[in-house]
């Protein structure tokens, strides 16, 4: 483990208040190993649709720079995202597209872990492979295993309390976070 706390930011791909993925994200501090501190990333909900003309005429919106800075400053990034139509939710993809155009591209060399909760049986697996592909283009270092796919999520997470009630899922998340902490240290946390 590193000789200081690993700061990991979590980007939630769902904007809705009652998001299961947000509930998973909120549970992470309680499931992370000692020495890892997961916290929510600055929001992307106000990002305009990516348009290179806007970038060239007005520059990057402040909210984009804020998220880009947070990604750059973090030791690692965890995505907590649903799957929309077998792929990455549009809002999240738009956020990644904006951040990817910021100079000194923030995802380059950044340790990344993926988690998804979805109502389908595959738990967002198809979204994860698309997100993995985007991260390859950006030269991020995405953790291979353990993978977290929370299928039929409404049966594993209590929508009222936000608690992950399925203990097998809790165990898998703990294992992934422990592996991610080692992965971050191995691949070089920010100095
Ligand atoms: C536009 C849209 C597309 C969806 N597509 C999928 C899908 O491809 N696979 C799937 O398992 N669930 C799909 N769902 C259902 C989501 O898994 C479910 O709404 C889930 O709760 C969304 O995550 P959230 O609770 O974090 O917002 C879709 C939902 C929406 C709104």
Query: Residue 89 C-alpha to ligand 1 middle, in angstroms?
Result: 9
4 or 126, which is more confident: 126
pLDDT in tens, 31-70: 999 999 999 999 999 999 999 999 999 999 999 999 999 9
Ligand 1 and 119: CB distance under 6 A: yes
The string of DSSP letters for 4-56 reads S-EEEEEEES--STT-HHHHHHHHHHHHSPTTEEEEEPPP-TTPPPP-HHHHH
pLDDT band at 1 (very low <50, low <70, confident <90, very high): low
Ligand 1 and 118: CB distance under 6 A: yes
Query: From CA 50, how far away is CA 64, in angstroms rounded?
Result: 10
pLDDT in tens, 7-21: 999 999 999 999 999
Q: Which of 77, 118, 109 is nearest to 95 (CA)?
A: 77
Q: Which atom of ligand 1 is nearest to the CA of 119?
A: 17
- Alpha helix (H) residue ranges in the chain: 20-31, 52-58, 62-73, 90-100, 125-137, 167-187
Ligand 1 and 16: CB distance under 6 A: yes
Query: Residue 49 C-alpha to ligand 1 middle, in angstroms?
Result: 21
Q: Which residues contact 98 (CB under 8 A, 6 or more apart)?
A: 44, 47, 50, 60, 61, 64, 67
CB 33 within 8 Å of CB 81: no
Q: What is the pLDDT of residue 4?
A: 85
pLDDT in tens, 60-98: 999 999 999 999 999 999 999 999 999 999 999 999 999
Peptide bond before residue 146 is cis, with ω within 30 degrees of 0: yes
Ligand 1 binding pocket mutation candidate from 18, 84, 121 (most atoms within 8 A of CB)? 84
Average pLDDT for 100-116: 98
Reply yes or no on whether the pLDDT at 191 is more than 80. no
Ligand 1 and 155: CB distance under 6 A: no
**Residue nearest ligand 1's atom 3 by CA:** 84
Q: What is the pLDDT of residue 63?
A: 98
Average pLDDT for 122-142: 98
Q: Which atom of ligand 1 is nearest to the CA of 153?
A: 21
CB 164 within 8 Å of CB 27: yes
Q: What is the pLDDT of residue 188?
A: 75
Q: What is the pLDDT of residue 104?
A: 95
pLDDT in tens, 134-189: 999 999 999 999 999 999 999 999 999 999 999 999 999 999 999 999 999 999 76
Q: What is the pLDDT of residue 28?
A: 98
pTM of the model: 0.97
Q: What is the pLDDT of residue 34?
A: 97
């Amino acid at each position: 483990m590193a000789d200081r706390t690993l700061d990991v930011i979590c980007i939630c791909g769902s904007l809705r208040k009652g998001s299961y993925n947000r509930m998973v994200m909120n549970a992470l501090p309680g499931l992370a190993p000692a020495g890892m501190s997961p916290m929510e990333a600055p929001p992307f909900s106000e990002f305009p649709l990516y348009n290179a003309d806007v970038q060239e005429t007005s520059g990057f919106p402040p909210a984009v720079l804020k998220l880009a800075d947070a990604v750059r400053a973090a030791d690692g990034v965890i995505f907590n995202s649903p799957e929309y139509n077998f792929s990455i939710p549009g809002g999240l993809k738009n956020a990644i597209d904006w951040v990817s155009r910021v100079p000194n591209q923030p995802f380059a060399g950044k340790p990344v872990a993926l988690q998804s909760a979805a109502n389908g049986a595959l738990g967002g697996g198809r979204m994860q492979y698309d997100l993995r592909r985007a991260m390859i283009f950006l030269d991020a270092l995405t953790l291979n295993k353990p993978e977290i796919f929370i299928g039929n999520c409404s049966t594993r997470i209590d929508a009222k309390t936000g608690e992950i009630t399925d203990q097998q899922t809790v165990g898998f998340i703990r294992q992934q976070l422990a592996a991610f902490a080692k992965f971050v240290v191995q691949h070089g946390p920010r100095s």
